[in-house]
Amino acid sequence: MCGIIGYIGKDVANKIILEGLKRLEYRGYDSVGTATIDAKNHLIIKKDVGRIEEVNTKLNLLEPASNIMLGHCRWATHGAPTRENAHPHLDCKNNVAVVHNGVIENFLELKEELIEGGHKFVSRTDTEVVPHLVEEGLNAGLSFYDATVNAIRRIKGSYALAIISTREPDKIICARNESPLVLGVSDSGTFCASDIPAILPYTNKVIVLNNGELAILEANKFVIKRVSDGITLSREAKVIEWSIEQAEKQGYPHFMLKEIHEQPTSLRNALRLQEQYLDLIATFLDRGEKIFLLAAGTSHYACIASSYMFSKLARLATYPIISSEFIENYGESVGIDTVILAVSQSGETYDTLKAVDYARMRAATILGITNVVGSTLTRVSRAYIVQQSGPEIGVAATKSYTAQVLVLAQLALKLAKIRGKLSQDEIDELKASLNRIPEVVENVLETREEKVKAIAKKYAKEKLFLFLGRGISTATALEGRLKLLEISYTPSLAYPAGESKHGPISIIEDGVPVIFICPNDETRKEIIGNIMEMKARGAKIISVCEKGDQKIANLSDDIIEIPKVNPLLSPIPYIIPLQLLAYYIAIEKGLDPDKPRNLAKSVTVP
Ligand code: AGP
């Protein structure tokens, strides 16, 4: 996720853009850049690696003064954080500048076509294809608008784009598909930005662009058009009453809730991985004699979920190990035949990096999945995948977890294909199930939140919770427990339900809430037995189950129903109500879910 902003009007743009970038910095902060058009109609680009203040001190973004400017703060997804990869990106003749937030799925084929057409590229980003596509149209004699709309119609994927050209220096053209983009209108000029906080100090009259729309901004007017057919759309500006702090959370009270609701988008971006990296990592995994999945906390639970997927889909045994225990427990067994897949949102977790270093010294192959390009994990991995979730501000992992599971599911499917373990029909069915996950999560968020809020209110004062699941739902039970534990400080246990009789059932007495994760999979019959044994001892049964599962509904005091999904993908939609439950119980207890006590977002110390 990156932040983009643009302004054109009567005022000097530089300060507006610089201040706006500072309020967008939470969206990405590995590099920063701006584009203006000076009095001689030249494009002036200033960009570098580093945070906004550092880059401004180095390059003085306030000069040369101009009344038209674009700004960008980057969270790298394609191409490491370097000056060349920082935005804005240009065409061959420095007549077009582009800033972008999103993931262009078909950039490789477009880049090849443009290189064949003689275009020169200087970065490894997906974004850089856009200015060259616009240049193609300008070279053909098209207007700036026609050249730009033709370019936008060529790209597939998520984008919030803002584009300027020396060809028509009195316009900004911006466009949106999935990545957020808002327009601002004021007496002094017009604005576009990734979100409202960036422009709120200058105007509270805002229009939210919808997917598939573009806008042509001029100093004292704007026009909105549909990308597909160029039809002009009329749209009234809304007056925003939020404070800046509220606006940074897009109106949500906390980053955690905003990020829970971002999951349909972050999951769509997790489905836009570059195939060659998935192939490369799957190939390395396929060669491993021993495969350890190393991670900590939530990332470890993503690894547990994926171990079921690797086993059931690719017939491959993998071992999810908590990073801090790996050396003691398996260190001596590591050798050249070992493959380590380290999963870390931050890419900086001390325990995971220490275990990775130990394995690397013993000639193991190191692979990584992370959310941060340029993190230590990306530098020590032989190959890595970036999950493309965008910055996660809340300390509790939410969108990064579901994205990790979705990336791992794609890897398991890739491996099943390589190893010939699934028929083409089974592969096609699973691919279709994977692609449906974002909309299933969207449906759960839209239709179940109020129910979960009511359940949170009902049980908020409970002193103890037990989370139980069988099979792959063990991972969901563990992650759901961690969410509740870490942000509401409520003592909670999580176990494979089959373990109940080996100890946990002793804590059950009248009224203890037991949360069962029970999708309609091959473990359902046995987990119904577990529900009944807990119920018989007075437990309150809260079940997260498949929509329409009347038998489980009849046994439960409260149910949260999830639309039917392939059971192997259930850890993604089934965790959503548990994220919301933890959040709303923390709110009921008057706690700040974004800043849980004693915890840091990334544990970079032993
Ligand atoms: C999860 O909500 C916590 N924030 C924590 O357990 C976290 O998952 C763990 O510290 C691992 O972080 P990483 O993914 O950045 O390595």
Give residue 302's identity as a one-letter amino acid code. A
Contact (Cβ atoms closer than 8 angstroms) between residue 92 and residue 42: no
Q: Give yes or no: residues 400 and 530 share one domain.
A: no
Q: Is residue 201 reached through a cis peptide bond, with omega within 30 degrees of 0 on the bond before it?
A: no
Euclidean distance between CA atoms 375 and 354, whole angstroms: 14
Mean pLDDT by 10 residues, the chain (606 residues): 93 96 82 96 96 94 96 84 94 98 94 98 96 98 98 96 98 95 96 91 93 97 97 91 75 94 95 92 96 98 98 97 98 97 94 97 97 87 93 92 98 96 95 97 98 98 98 98 97 96 93 98 96 96 98 98 97 98 98 87 77
User: Are 418 and 291 part of one and the same domain?
Assistant: yes
d(CA 447, CA 449): 6
Residue 57 sits in a domain of what CATH number? 3.60.20.10
Q: How far is ligand 1, taken at its centre, from the CA of residue 102, in Å?
A: 24
Task: Look at residue 28 in the predicted model and tell me its pLDDT.
Answer: 72
Do the domain assignments include residue 541?
Answer: yes
**What is the Cα–Cα distance from 213 to 147, expressed in whole angstroms?**
16
Q: What is the CA radius of gyration of the chain?
A: 25
The tokens of 257 are what?
Answer: 């809730």
Ligand 1 in contact with 603 (CB < 6 A)?
A: yes
Distance (Å) from CA 299 to ligand 1 centroid:
6
d(CA 103, CA 570): 25
In short, whether 556's Cβ falls inside 6 Å of ligand 1 is: no
Phi, psi of 138 (to 5 degrees): -65, -40
Q: Are 564 and 547 in contact (CB under 8 A)?
A: yes
- Return the best residue to mutate from 299, 306, 343, 384 for the ligand 1 pocket (most ligand atoms within 8 A of CB): 299
Q: Token digits for 582?
A: 């933890």
Same domain, 317 and 406: yes
286 and 216, same structural domain?
no
341 alpha carbon – ligand 1 mean position (Å)? 16
424: tokens are 């083409």
Instruction: Tell whether 298 and 335 lie within a shared domain.
Output: yes
Task: Compute, in angstroms, the gap from residue 484 CA to the centroid of ligand 1.
Answer: 14
pLDDT of residue 169: 97
Taking the C-alpha atoms of residue 597 and residue 69, their distance in angstroms, rounded to an integer, is: 41
Asked if the structure places residue 427 within a domain, the reply is no
Cα separation, 103 vs 127, in Å, equals 8
Task: Indicate if ligand 1 lies below 6 Å from the C-beta of 102.
Answer: no
Distance in Å, CA 199 to ligand 1 centroid: 33
Examine the domain organization and report whether 89 and 173 are in the same domain: yes
| CA torsion through residues 413, 544, 294, 311, sign | negative
At 79 the pLDDT is 78
Same domain, 149 and 265: no
Q: What is the domain count for the chain?
A: 3
345, 369, 605: residue to mutate for ligand 1 pocket, most atoms within 8 A of CB: 345
Interatomic CA distance for residues 4 and 24, integer angstroms: 8
Residue 57 lies in a domain: yes
Last residue of a domain, one of 248, 274, 303: 248
Question: What three-state secondary structure class fits 544?
Answer: strand
What pLDDT, on the 0 to 100 scale, is given for residue 539? Answer: 97
Strands 338-344 and 290-295: parallel
Q: Final residue of a domain: which of 228, 248, 268? A: 248
Comparing C-alpha atoms, which of 50, 441, 55, 41 is closest to residue 271?
A: 441
Q: Is residue 434 part of a domain?
A: no
> Does residue 334 sit in the same domain as residue 211?
no
479, 356: one domain = no
CA 14 → CA 7, 20, 195, distances in Å? 9, 10, 18
Domain that includes residue 507, residue range:
442-600
- 312 has catalytic annotation: no
Task: Answer whether residue 605 is part of any domain.
Answer: no
Same-domain status, 549 and 583: yes
CA–CA distance, 572 with 237 (Å, rounded to integer): 36
The predicted structure's pLDDT at residue 601:
79
Q: Are residues 174 and 193 in the same domain?
A: yes
> Cβ(345) to ligand 1 under 6 A?
yes
299 lines ligand 1 (CB under 6 A): yes
- Is 15 within the bounds of a domain? yes
Rounded distance between C-alpha atoms, residue 369 and residue 346, angstroms: 10
CATH code of the domain in which 572 resides = 3.40.50.10490
In a domain, 534, yes or no: yes
What are the DSSP calls for 142-199, one per residue? --HHHHHHHHHHH--EEEEEEEEETTSTT-EEEEEESS--EEEE-SSEEEEESSGGGT
Specify burial of residue 522 (Cβ count, 10 A radius: 0-12, 13-18, 19+): exposed
The token pair that represents 351 in the structure block = 């325990």
Of 568, 586, 559, the closest CA to residue 492 belongs to 586
* 92 tagged catalytic: no
Q: Decide which of 391, 422, 453 is a domain's last residue.
A: 422
Predicted pLDDT at 215 = 98
Residue 431 lies in a domain: no
Helix (H, G, I), strand (E, B) or coil at 322: strand
Helices (H), 388-461: 399-418, 424-459
Residue in 115, 99, 234 with CA at minimum distance from that of residue 174: 99
Number of H helices, E strands in the chain: 19, 25
Same domain, 101 and 241: yes
